[in-house]
């Protein structure tokens, strides 16, 4: 959600972040395949009530845990943008960084909740310097080549360049790969192709592990 400085609060729908390792997300998507429209509306309305109740200003993420019976429970509120905010940007068309700056500047947003729609499906994968088959221990090395000539359409958020060294002094996340398409299955296929383009040659990463998850039947089925 994002709230402006004039008391207006807006939700930007939902994200699914169940695929994790060491309690940290590695695959995020929007919309969540675990929810129908009734449940989605209830969760989004609850998030708005929380934001309104504390007179929040700026961008924030409210996290819930969803039980098997459809009940959901408040976990926490992250009073900031999160790593996975690009999937929300791709399914809504809004620049959340811009909105956060506008809110901090004291401006009112020039749209209503009805103007915020979800279009298609977006998936984000975190590329980490780590060894998935060795308890996800961090790895080091020199990045020879980050990506090839793209054979598919994707967004790559990355602060590294070819030739950079990976050390143990920083978080192991190297980049985020984000795709968007008309439906979830097509988005999964596009992400699989995108990961073939994002090489990070010279460094051991979780890229192949992510591809295994994307092709797993339970993930494809949205379970």
pLDDT at 148: 83
- The token pair at 207 is 């890229």
DSSP letter string over 4-40? -TTS-EE-----EEEEEETTEEEEEEES-TT--HHHH
**Residue 33 near residue 184 (C-beta atoms within 8 A):** yes
Alpha-helical (H) ranges within 105-223 are 184-197, 207-214, 217-220
The catalytic residue positions are 80
Residue owning tokens 């080091």: 140
H/E element, 122: strand 121-128
pLDDT at 170: 87
Statement: the pTM of the whole predicted model exceeds 0.85:
yes
**Residue 99 near residue 59 (C-beta atoms within 8 A):** yes
- What are the pLDDT tens digits along the chain (223 aa)? 999 999 999 999 999 999 999 899 999 999 999 999 999 999 999 999 999 999 999 999 999 999 999 999 999 999 999 999 999 999 999 999 999 999 999 999 999 999 999 999 999 999 999 999 999 999 999 999 998 877 789 999 999 999 999 998 889 999 999 999 999 999 999 999 999 999 999 999 999 999 999 999 999 999 9
Taking the alpha carbons at both ends of the chain, their separation in whole angstroms is: 26
Backbone φ and ψ for 168, nearest 5 degrees, come out as: -90, 10
pLDDT at 87: 98
Task: Give CA–CA dist 142/160, Å, rounded.
Answer: 11
pLDDT at 150: 74
pLDDT at 214: 98
């Amino acid at each position: 959600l994002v709230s402006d400085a004039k008391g207006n609060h807006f939700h930007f729908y939902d994200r699914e972040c169940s695929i994790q390792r060491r309690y940290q997300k590695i695959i995020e998507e929007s919309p969540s395949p675990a929810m129908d429209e009734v449940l989605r509306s209830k969760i989004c309305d609850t998030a708005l009530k929380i934001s309104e109740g504390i007179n929040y200003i700026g961008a924030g993420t409210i996290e819930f845990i969803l039980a098997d019976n459809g009940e959901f429970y408040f976990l926490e509120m992250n009073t900031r943008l999160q790593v996975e905010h690009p999937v929300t940007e791709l399914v809504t068309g809004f620049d959340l960084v811009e909105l956060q700056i506008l809110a901090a500047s004291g401006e009112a947003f020039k749209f209503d909740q009805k103007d915020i729609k979800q279009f298609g499906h977006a998936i984000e994968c975190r590329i980490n310097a780590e060894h998935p088959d060795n308890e996800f221990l961090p790895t080091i090395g020199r990045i020879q080549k980050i990506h090839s000539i793209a054979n598919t359409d994707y967004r790559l958020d990355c602060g590294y360049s070819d030739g950079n060294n990976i050390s143990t002094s920083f978080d192991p996340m190297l980049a985020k790969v984000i795709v968007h398409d008309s439906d979830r299955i097509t988005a999964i296929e596009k992400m699989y192709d995108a990961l073939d383009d994002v090489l990070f040659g010279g460094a051991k990463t979780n890229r192949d592990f992510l591809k295994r998850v994307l092709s797993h039947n339970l993930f494809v089925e949205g379970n």
